[in-house]
Amino acid sequence: MSYQVLARKWRPRKFAEMVGQEHVLRVLINALDNDRLHHAYLFTGTRGVGKTTVARIFAKSLNCESGVSAEPCGHCSACTEIDEGRFVDLIEVDAASRTKVEDTRDLLDNVQYAPTRGRFKVYLIDEVHMLSTHSFNALLKTLEEPPPHVKFLLATTDPQKLPATVLSRCLQFNLKRLPPALIIGHLEQLLEAEGISSDNAALRLLARGADGSMRDGLSLLDQAIAFGGGAVTETEVRAMLGSIEQRHVIELLQALADGNGAALLQVVAQVAERAPDYEALLADLLGYLQQLAIAQSVPDAVDENLDEREALLQLAERIAPEDVQLFYQIGLIGRRDLPLAPDPRGGLEMLLLRMLAFRPLTADGAKEPLHPATAAAAASAVPAQKAAHAAVPETSEQPVKAAAPAAPAAPSVRPVPAAPVSAPAETDWRGLVEAMELKGMLRELAMNCALQEQDEQRWRLLLDAGHQQLLSKDRVQRLEKSLGDCLQRAIGLDIEIERGAGAETPAQQRQREAEARQADAVTAIESDPNVKAIQKTFDATVHSGSIRPVDSE
């Protein structure tokens, strides 16, 4: 007997064998068991999630010789013939190849006749959205008032293309993309039944490549078995799929966290030795950046199936949330532009270096320090001139820069002295936050706290209620350690949520100062006599929203 591919050999033959889609199966099973059957059903969803499989099992349940139920016997002639695709009263139509109105009319000419063998005549129309407008019109009348012995089962990957008149006459079921955990579990059971060895890392790669489609997962598994000579291993599957080792993606993120351009290029060089798919590498990087953003907001929601989960959670503490969002946006735009680069590797390198070049400024208006290797390369660059721009009336989209009055001096950050630093009664909490040189979410927590009370052993902080998601036991302990290291004595911290209008936090101070500098810059431009003269002469208008203080460059 010829070999049968896994996707066909292991195709579910009853509802109990289906993987996932419980929300759809529950409705169909109750309808069959309680004899509450509709005349038209529409199954939607992406490829390979089980639309036509569910429809065939439903047709079997309707025509099983043992009676209408959610548990067809699977042995009678009707069940056997439906499984083999030769049941005369199950009419399967591929709408993609029969789009003409004449085809639809020929199909519907026999609707009024009773079924030949079964209890119901079932029309299974796949990719129904491919029918022409005239075909839908021909189908509509029959779909609205079909004979009692006829059932319509429609399947499509694009329900938006179906006319509203058709949608309104069907019960609609949206089949979901299958999560990787379900695909992995099914592949494990299948391989065990087939007597084929495998490892979990290989199955995770296959599940990720399946992209929510069980059929694609089984097809990839077939290919992996052939590629590996009867075994499914991570090395063989990675080579077959051309996948990038995930440690390289983590190394890229670590280099971005360190501001280390040299390390970024070194990782790209290592990856380039295996002739990778640079677009796939960028897609993996974007996926990890998404998981980083999730880890910073809801750590428990990070995908449990990620091999590098712990490394991501650590990176979430090192990279500021605004940097993660910036990196993701740059990567998303760069993915679109990558095919335009003269060389894919060069395009990826420019994209990664762009992430470093456009990092947000620190509180004192300077970029965060680069890794020494990158700083040495950047030292030869000509420094940007910080002189104030000449006042020019706004006649285009070019922003107008204004020399803002001197902002309040940022707290000075000095090396930790050898002797302990005692906190005075009026402790500069913002200065201490800067001195501790915190990173990531820990810095966000400290910046959104205000010092309320203190003594020699214990300090009480109030956390802005809008940032209470930053509070965790681990971060409080780490903040205590950082503060103790800075002051060189043990300090206990109690952090409470501020419910009313409390003391100003460093983050609020920084925002207020920025708004004041912006307001002063607008006033400086609008009151400048030269600008007023140009406005009067040329009837020009200054757009205050485009004015930026010099220190925002």
Q: Give the mean pLDDT of 110-116.
A: 85
pLDDT of residue 440: 86
pLDDT of residue 362: 53
Q: What is the pLDDT of residues 179-205, one digit of tens each?
A: 888 999 999 999 999 899 888 888 988
Q: Give the per-residue pLDDT at 108.
A: 80
Residue 397 pLDDT exceeds 60? no
Q: Report pLDDT for 237.
A: 86
The helix (run of H) or strand (run of E) holding residue 227 is: helix 214-227
Mean predicted confidence (pLDDT) in 72-101? 86
The three-state secondary structure class of 451 is strand
Rounded Cα–Cα distance for residues 290 and 278 (Å): 18
3-state secondary structure 147-168: CCCEEEEEEECCHHHCCHHHHC
Rounded Cα gap, residues 372 and 242, in angstroms: 34
State the average pLDDT over residues 243-261.
Answer: 86
pLDDT at 243: 66
The ranges of the chain annotated as CATH 3.40.50.300 are 6-174
CB 550 within 8 A of CB 402: yes
Domain 246-374 is of which CATH architecture? Up-down Bundle (1.20)
Tokens describing residue 41: 């059903």
| pLDDT over 70 at 411, yes or no | no
Q: Is the per-residue pLDDT at 358 higher than 70?
A: yes
Q: Where in the chain is the domain with CATH 3.30.300.150?
A: 401-409+423-553
Q: Rounded to an integer, what distance in angstroms lies between the CA atom of residue 265 and that of residue 282? A: 14
Structure tokens belonging to residue 130 = 């491919």
Res 173: pLDDT: 93
Q: Is the pLDDT of residue 425 over 50?
A: no
Mean pLDDT of the chain: 82
180-241: which CATH topology?
Helicase, Ruva Protein; domain 3 (1.10.8)
For residue 14, the cross-strand partners are none
With a cut of 90, say whether residue 29 has pLDDT above it: yes
State the DSSP code for 198.
B
Cα 224–chain centre separation:
27
- Name the residue among 88, 146, 141, 145 with its Cα closest to residue 115: 88
Residue 22 pLDDT greater than 80, yes or no: yes
Choice between 24 and 361, residue whose per-residue pLDDT is larger:
24
Helix, strand, coil percentages in the chain from 3-state DSSP, rounded to 5: 50, 10, 35
Contact at 8 Å (CB) between 491 and 480? yes
> In angstroms, rounded to a whole number, what is the distance separating the alpha carbons of residues 489 and 484?
5
| Cα separation values, 273 from 248, 326, 350, Å | 12, 29, 18
pLDDT digits (tens, 9 = 90+) for 457-495: 899 999 988 888 888 888 999 999 999 999 888 989 999
CATH 1.10.8.60 placement within the chain:
180-241
Reduced 3-state DSSP string for 346-368: HHHHHHHHHHHHCCCECCCCCEC
Selecting from 1.10.3720.10, 2.40.50.1020, 3.40.50.300, 2.50.20.10, what CATH number does the domain 6-174 have?
A: 3.40.50.300
**Pairing between β-strand 449-454 and β-strand 458-464 as defined by DSSP bridges:** antiparallel
pLDDT reading at 546 higher than 60: yes
The C-alpha atoms of residue 7 and residue 233 are separated, in whole angstroms, by 20
Helix (H) or strand (E) holding 548: strand 547-549
State residue 551's pLDDT score: 64
Above 60 in pLDDT, residue 67? yes
Q: What is the CATH number of domain 401-409+423-553?
A: 3.30.300.150
Sign of CA dihedral 241, 244, 247, 250: negative
pLDDT at residue 398 in the model: 42
Least confident window among 60-74, 97-111, 163-177, 240-254: 97-111
Let me know: does 236 contact 196? Beta carbons within 8 Å: no
Nearest-angstrom CA–CA distance, 552 and 514:
9
Identify the band that residue 374 occupies on the pLDDT scale cut at 50, 70 and 90: very low
Does 136 have pLDDT greater than 50? yes
Instruction: Please count the CA atoms within 13 angstroms of the CA of 326 that sit on its side-chain side.
Output: 17
Query: Do 464 and 454 touch, CB atoms closer than 8 A?
Result: no
